[in-house]
């Protein structure tokens, strides 16, 4: 169980940090405004900018779904499999 927790935490912190860095570079208009990290990204000037702007959404969803997978779905699947095996062995 601790193994899944640390994998989810690693994905969440790593992808979350990368998301915050890219979003702060490309989606922060001004540090005085309230639209930090959520403003519309600018037009990509070169290939690097296009890849980085595309990775912003990918990293956000990877952080959220990766943590959800390791913290909820995998442990729930293991518990369900144990319950099914116990039910089959009792019959």
Please tell me the predicted confidence (pLDDT) of residue 37: 80
> Who contacts 75 (Cβ-Cβ below 8 Å, separation ≥6)?
1, 4
Residues 5-54 have pLDDT tens digits of 999 999 999 999 999 999 989 888 877 777 778 788 888 889 999 999 99
**pLDDT over threshold 80, residue 1:** no
Please tell me the predicted confidence (pLDDT) of residue 57: 93
If 0-12 CB within 10 Å is exposed, 13-18 middle and 19+ buried, where does residue 49 land?
Answer: middle
Q: How many domains does the chain have?
A: 1
Q: Residue 13's domain spans which residues?
A: 2-90
Residue 29 phi/psi, 5-degree rounding, is -70, -45
Closest CA to 52 of 43, 64, 61: 43
Please tell me the predicted confidence (pLDDT) of residue 36: 79
pTM: 0.81
Please tell me the predicted confidence (pLDDT) of residue 31: 75
Please tell me the predicted confidence (pLDDT) of residue 10: 96
> Who contacts 66 (Cβ-Cβ below 8 Å, separation ≥6)?
8, 11, 12, 15
């Amino acid at each position: 169980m601790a193994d899944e927790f640390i994998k989810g935490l690693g994905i969440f912190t790593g992808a979350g940090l990368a998301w915050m860095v890219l979003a702060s570079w490309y989606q922060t208009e001004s540090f005085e405004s309230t639209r930090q990290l959520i403003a519309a990204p600018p037009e990509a000037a070169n290939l690097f900018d296009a890849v980085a702007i595309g990775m912003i959404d990918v990293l956000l969803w990877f952080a959220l779904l990766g943590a959800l997978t390791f913290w909820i779905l995998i442990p729930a699947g293991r518990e369900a499999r144990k319950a099914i095996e116990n039910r089959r062995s009792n019959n």
